[in-house]
Structure formats: C-alpha cells, structure tokens
Amino acid sequence: MPTLAHKIRLDPTPDQIQYFKQASGTARFVWNWALDEWNRRYAAGQKPQAPALKKQFNALKYQQFPWLRNIHRDAHAQPFADLADAWLRFFTGQNDRPVFKKKGETSDSFYVANDKFQVADRRVKLPKIGWVRLRESLRFPGKILGARVVRDADQWFLSVPVSVPDSIYYRTRTGQGVEGVDVGVKTFATLSTGKKIVGPKAHRRALRRLKIRQRAITRKMQAAKTPIGLAPQDPLPQGIRLPRSRNWDKAKNHVARTHLRIAHLRQDFLHKTSTRLCRENQAVGIETLSVKGMMANHRLARSIADQGFGQFYALWQYKADRYGTQLIEADRWFPSSKLCSTPGCGYLKKDLTLKDRSWTCPGCGVTHDRDVNAAINLKGLATPTALPVATRPVRTATVPEHPDIGGKVTPARHEATPESLLSASGQEEVGAHHCAPIL
C-alpha cells in the first residue's frame, strides 16, 4: 500500500519542549556514537552491521550513559536503523557519506515507534511526556507506520507516515489536457497555452529583512565581546566561547523563523502548482532538469535554489503517480528552445543564446516567445503517447472521491497571463502583487 506523510505542528508545553530537546540530543549522540564505531570497525577491515552495533551499545549504555534512562528507548534505538539506511543510500549513490551531527547544525528530531504513541483527534500521546496538543488532526486514514518529532526554527512538528488504501492515495483528475511546461529562472513555469506562472521568489524578497535580522545577531555577538575586553571587530581567540545572552538567542530564533516562513511560502506555491498541473492533465511534457548542473553555475544558483526546482520535480513526480498523469521527460539534448514550434516548419535556430527572450523564425516568419515556444515543443513530445491509448483511465467510476481528504487545493497565486504581464511593468512586479507579505 502506498504511503503518505502528514507533518503536523505541535503545541508543546515548556516541559515538553525540554524533553523534545533532550530526546533530539540523545538521538544525535547515539548517531555519532554509532557512526564513530562504524568508521572504526571499517578502518579495522571489518564489515560493520547496524544490529551488531546496537547490541554492543545496548550492553553498555545504562552503565556508561545513565541519563539515557530518562529518554524513551526509541529515541536511542532508531539512529542505528537510520545510519544503516544512510550508508545504503550512500553506496547506491543517492546521498553523500553520513557525517557526524553537530548541535545547532543539523535539524533536531527523534523517532517514536507506532506502538508507542497514540493519536486522538487533535492530540498525541507520546511516551514519557503524555498528551501533546496538535494544531490539526491527522489527515489520512490507514496504518500509522511511526512518527518523528521534528524541530524547524523554534517550532516542533510531528511527522507521521501512514500507509493508506489505494482509494485515498489515487486522486481523480479534473481534466484530460495535454500540456508542455518549460521551467525557467525568469518565469517559474511557462505552459504551452501561453500562460506564465511566476514564482513567489520568496527568498529574494525576504532577503532584505533577513539581512536586518542577521545584523541583529552580529550586534549581539559583538556586544558579548566587550565584557571580556575585546573590541567588537576583534577576531575571537581560539578556544574562547562567548557567553550567550538571551537576546542573542532571540535574534537567532528570529532569523530561523524568517527562513522557515520563506520555506513555507515556497512550499505552498510548489504544492499548488504541481498539483494543478497533474490534476488537469493526462500527460505533461517536461524538460530534463539537471539541478546539479544548473547549480554549478553560480549566477543561476541562487535563483534556482530560490525557486526550489529540485523540490518541484520531486513533488511533480509523486503527484503524477497519484493523479495518473504521465510526465514525459525530454531527452537531455532535446533543443526545446531552438526548435521552431510552428506546425510543419521544424527550423532549428542553432545560434539562439540564453539572452534571446524571443526570436523570429527565418523558415516561417513567426516570432516566438522563447519560453512559450519551448513549452509547445515539450507538449509535442507528450501528445503521441497521451492520446488516446496510453492514458490511465480516470478513476471516478471505480474509486469514490474523498473531498475532505488530502486538503483543499486552491489555485496557485503568482499566476499571470501574458496580457497581464504586458500591462504590468515587469514579471517580478506581478509576483509581488500577489505575494503575501513576509512577517
């Protein structure tokens, strides 16, 4: 059965937050212990295995680390499985090599097995601390597979993967369209219909505010130097740690929260856009996006990270599966921008540069918008496979709809038609109009 995860904001009491921090610290400590042991055994020519390491740890843990008794055992058992998983991903080329986790540099989280907690309406009962309030109730029915308590900025979340029945997982499309989508840095996505979807560019717009808040941290850090006889600009001598003031911590939280809000704004946009493209189409032609390759270009790197292309493609693929939409990926070398999209023309403009936002085809005389032209060519790739045989049947007949499950999908803001783009002074302006202010 397919799995869906629901991440729900927690409303913990101060005591519960204290426990969350300790449990996350424990998970981090055990991970580091296991990784260290793993590396040692590997260097000694052995083949380390997670269960053996766990056994070794369990034999000594309560003598050597008596404080572990205060933390539920799942928090110190799971890192072994996590580490085994991380190595597997490393050896199959999906991840970088597992590294030691440093406090404040990796996100805090710990695991709870599915038989150790209980979700009831808008609260969850966790081991050692009892009931914690949830901001919303669990969205998916099905078998709960486990949970992780996760910190983002100064907020805590419960992430619950649920194995759901097919009738919940698979969704009904509302349309049978075939579309081509050109994803770009200037305009987030251009559709073959000519529609341009401008990304929220949340990060860039918040950058100014972020800078102000980051300066506040710097000021607090500099203020902490005066009592130990250093001038604000003096470098910190090695081995000296500045006393952390409460206001310094507050400033840090402020920045973290700004980052979190930016991430949420971006996520909201990516979710709505990817859902809409899958829900309305039976086939979508897309470009192969080598995010890594594009990130290597430093001038583009921030825009690409800002737009969240990697996340967008991941969401797209998983939603295409849920909606039975076919994503037809173009070949890496497919000249989507350079090919004339006029039916029957097929002229290839070899000297098209990245700067050319539009071009006139010498073959047929039509002037193309670069992105729309590319989107139409990508649509052309999707068409022969999409109609009429290759499509999966729409599921209305066999599977009942669950309008209450999966959340309401509202149309993405940040959308603009070519006309409104022309009437506005620029695309960024259009995005700014529709974008919620960053608080």
Say how many residues make up the chain.
Answer: 439
Site residues, Zn ion (CB under 5 A): 340, 342, 345, 347, 361, 363-364
Shortest separation between residue 199's beta carbon and Zn ion, angstroms: 30
Contacts for 309-317 with beta carbons within 8 Å, 24 or more apart? 309/183, 311/266, 311/267, 311/270, 312/183, 312/270, 312/273, 312/274, 313/289, 315/270, 315/271, 315/274, 316/274, 316/277, 316/278, 316/286
Shortest separation between residue 361's beta carbon and Zn ion, angstroms: 3
Characterize the bridge pairing of strands 196-197 and 358-360.
unpaired
- Bridge partners of 15, per DSSP, are none
168 or 376, CB closer to Zn ion? Answer: 376
76 or 368, CB closer to Zn ion? Answer: 368
319 or 368, CB closer to Zn ion? Answer: 368
Shortest separation between residue 332's beta carbon and Zn ion, angstroms: 24
CB 159 within 8 A of CB 148: yes
CB 439 within 8 A of CB 262: no
340 or 376, CB closer to Zn ion? Answer: 340
Question: Residue 29 is encoded by which pair of tokens?
Answer: 């400590």
71 or 361, CB closer to Zn ion? Answer: 361
35 or 361, CB closer to Zn ion? Answer: 361
CB 189 within 8 A of CB 198: no
Shortest separation between residue 342's beta carbon and Zn ion, angstroms: 4
CB 155 within 8 A of CB 9: yes
39 or 360, CB closer to Zn ion? Answer: 360
Nearest C-alpha neighbor of 195 from the set 282, 273, 294:
273
Shortest separation between residue 344's beta carbon and Zn ion, angstroms: 9
Shortest separation between residue 273's beta carbon and Zn ion, angstroms: 30
- Mutual orientation of helices 50-64 and 14-43 as an angle, nearest 10°? 120
Task: Mention every residue, 6+ apart, whose C-beta is less than 8 A from residue 403.
Answer: none
Shortest separation between residue 345's beta carbon and Zn ion, angstroms: 3
**Using CA atoms, how far apart are residues 188 and 191, in angstroms rounded to an integer?**
10
247 or 342, CB closer to Zn ion? Answer: 342
Shortest separation between residue 417's beta carbon and Zn ion, angstroms: 24
**Using CA atoms, how far apart are residues 323 and 326, in angstroms rounded to an integer?**
9
